[in-house]
Amino acid sequence: MNGHRLLTFTLAGLVGGAALTGAAEARPWTLADIAAFRVVTAVALAPRGDRLLYGVAWVDPKTHEDRQTWYLRSVEHADDAPLVLPPKAAPSDPAFSPSGDALAWIDDDRLWRYDLATRRVRALTGTARVVRSFAWAPDGTRISTTEQAKPPKAAPAPSLWLDPLASGVATTHPQPLRLWIVDAVRGTERPLATTGSFGGEAAVATPVWFADGRRLAIGRQPTGYYADYERLGYVVIDARTGTSAPVSTASGVLPNASAPVVGAAGRIAYVRTADGTTSGRTDVYVGGAGNARDVSAALDRDFWSCGNSRLGGGGRALVGTALDGIAMRLYRLDGAAPRALTPADRSVQGFSVAANGRIAYVASAPATPGEVFVMDADGTHARRVTHASKLPAGVDVAPTTLLRTTAHDGHVLVAQLTRPRGGAHVPLVVELHGGPQCSDDLAFSPTAQWFATNGYAFLRPNPRGSDGYGAWSYKAIVGDWGIGPLDDVRATVESALAGGALDAKRMFVEGASYGGYLTSWTVTHDDDFRAAVAAFPVVDLITDQGLSRSPGILRRFFGPTPLATAADRDKLRAQSPTTFGDALHTPLLLMAGLHDAQAPYPQTIAFYHTLHEGGKNVRMLVYPDAGHGPSDTTGYLDYLAHIAGWFAAHGGLRVPGAMLPPKG
């Protein structure tokens, strides 16, 4: 591509094994199949490690609403049974009591208790506030909660002062999250700590109890604003008086980072970036101020992983998930060096640790949807215990291969290529992920199956900046969001083409969020794609920094004050796709959500008008009720249908369900 020299490429074997036999008789996926797909998504293990609760996500065919059904079973016996619940109950994040005889969960903004023996459900909190997170106390008689006051119903003021932390397109002042103690039997509540905010718009903080039941550890930031996650610090709070003390003075916590873990000996484990900067690798530390030890440094893997990594513990075990290449793996972190507990051919999508150290986890591979596995604390005796995920009847599962490419600077990049069975001159769709510190991990993807079983090869590169490679990857995009990552995308595509059977004249590119940025950058610097879709993108870095509710994203890679000087702003312009709009020759579909404060939508609409007035082949699709992407399955299917329709209108395949753009 554009003269880029391919250095090396290798194609690994089929990942995850064949999921179906008789593939010749199997049918391609439809959009309705993506909606009908039932998959295990969550697991909670009882404290004794003898029972587990797991959730199966599905879409109601009548209302098109996303649902989740919870099943209870013993670890040793296949006695799976759905929880018996009131008709409209929708439990979120259920957790066993310390004795294992009850569950607590959040539903309709309230905390509820469910007694397993009697199947009785009762509310423990009222309707005056919104419960956002909770944790059982070790004795089971109390539950700590984070709660948020509901917005006042008074008429809004005709004007307000814009807080420097506020988004330019969502100027409301968020209510702080407060810490409460709830009686787990009577439901009485008392406020515990009322200063600061325990998490905020970026992510709610989750309280964690010490074994003595007298203290809690939790993350606290000065306000509830999204941007204030940069000032979040871990504190220990006395459960009687509410007084607090900092765990560490270190900074470098990223949004939706894992809650801390408190071990049996009272030592705290928590995550922060190793170099104190938000562009650094997130490591796991054990111990408080003055004696904290980095227990994951030797692994050189990130324990934030775009907000998907978590820590957990039981007994003396400390475990956590981190992306290794493109496999989200579970690691033991309490020994001399980190040790992987799960293999590199699948991704862990959630886990739970019992008091005796037994671990239950949900794992998925490209050919196999998520199921629950159980293993001992040392990683031995791992076994699958559920068969609850269900593919739509008769669908094919296209094979996925790993594509390894050596970049120009010697680093090895990993991508996934899902493609139809057989055939030549297959058109190629390249999907660019968001973040930029995210990755397409090694898990089953209905979207990849929809494209591949309908005739496209579906390539998911992970260029520099992606998680899973180590500290070098993050540092490689400091000041460089476009040039280096595009070079890696070009190399990965060339590797795919060198494998044969793909049609280099029918290639398409799409992505959302940072993937929308990189798509826009690609087609303003490259003419190799027939059509492109940039969804919910960052396209003008100056506008984005000025309006976003998360200005820290750019601060990670362009300095603490990216707008401060003319030179700083010139750097952002040089990295903005809008600067290079005149070079666009590829038909481009832009998408925006009109409630998007993450990658604020005005920049995308302005980019559209600039390109349109310049005579470019560009269209704009807006989602009036969406924020930073579709919020439900129905919206996501509409999003996919328009992507496929745009490609079909510009030389691609007429995939069933694709929505062609209007003429004119």
Render pLDDT for 439-449 as a digit per residue (tens, 0 to 9): 999 999 999 99
Hey, what domains does the chain have and what are their CATH numbers?
396-648 (3.40.50.1820)
Quickly state the pLDDT bin for 162 (edges 50, 70, 90).
confident
**What is the arithmetic mean of pLDDT over 456-463?**
97
Mean pLDDT of 71-97: 93
Give residue 17's pLDDT.
35
- Which of 89, 175, 187, 177 has its CA nearest to residue 133? 177
Candidate from 30-34, 175-179, 272-276, 458-462 with smallest mean pLDDT: 272-276
Helix (H/G/I), strand (E/B), else coil: 542: helix
Strands 51-59 and 110-115: unpaired
CA distances from 447 to 29, 216, 538 (A): 9, 41, 23
What band does 4 get if pLDDT is binned at 50, 70 and 90?
Answer: very low
Phi, psi at 552, each rounded to 5°: -65, -20
Confidence class for position 365, pLDDT limits 50, 70, 90: very high
Beta bridge partners of 330: 321
pLDDT category at 478 given cuts 50, 70, 90 is very high
The whole-number pLDDT of residue 3 equals 34
Cα–Cα distance measured from residue 220 to residue 224, given in angstroms and rounded to the nearest whole number: 9
Lateral strand order in the sheet of 339-340 = 311-314, 317-324, 327-332, 339-340
Is residue 602 packed enough to be buried (19+ CB in 10 Å), middle (13-18) or exposed (0-12)?
Answer: middle
Q: Report residue 60's pLDDT band, with 50, 70 and 90 as the boundaries.
A: confident
CA distance 355 to 131: 26
The token duo for 536 is 């919910």
The predicted pLDDT at position 107 comes to 95
How many helices (H) and strands (E) the chain has is answered by 10, 37
Nearest to 64, CA basis, from 649, 637, 653, 455: 637
Q: Is the peptide bond before 436 cis (omega within 30 degrees of 0)?
A: yes
Structure-model confidence comparison of residues 322 and 165, the more confident one: 322
For the sheet with 359-365, list strands across it.
347-353, 359-365, 368-375, 383-384
pTM for this predicted structure: 0.92
What is the spatial distance between Cα 446 and Cα 400, in angstroms, rounded to a whole number?
Answer: 12
Q: Please report which helix (H) or strand (E) contains residue 131, including its range.
A: strand 129-136
pLDDT for residue 631: 83
Strands (E), 528-567: 531-535
pLDDT, residue 249, reads 65
DSSP conformation class of 63: T
Mean pLDDT of 478-482: 94
pLDDT score recorded for residue 252: 64
Tell me the per-residue pLDDT of 264-287, one tens digit each, with 9 for 90 and over.
Answer: 778 899 998 887 777 788 999 998
Residue with tokens 């998959």: 39
Task: Report the distance separating Cα 69 and Cα 84, nearest Å.
Answer: 10
Residues near 10 by beta carbon (within 8 Å), at least 6 away in sequence: 403, 404
Is residue 12 predicted with pLDDT exceeding 70? no
CA distance 409 to 407: 5
Percentage with pLDDT > 90 across the chain: 75
The pLDDT tens digits of the residues spanning 508-549 come to: 999 999 999 999 999 999 999 999 999 999 999 999 999 999
- d(CA 660, CA 649) in angstroms, rounded, equals 6
What is the distance between the alpha carbons of residues 248 and 17, in angstroms, rounded to a whole number?
A: 46
pLDDT digits (tens, 9 = 90+) for 199-255: 999 999 999 999 999 999 999 999 999 989 888 989 999 999 999 998 876 666 788
pLDDT tens across 330-351, in order?
A: 999 988 889 999 999 999 999 9
- Write b or e for each residue in 541-575: b if 16 or more Cβ atoms lie within 10 A of its Cβ, otherwise e: bbbbbbbbbbbbbbbbbbbeebeeeeeeeebbeeb
Distance CA 109, CA 92 (A): 10
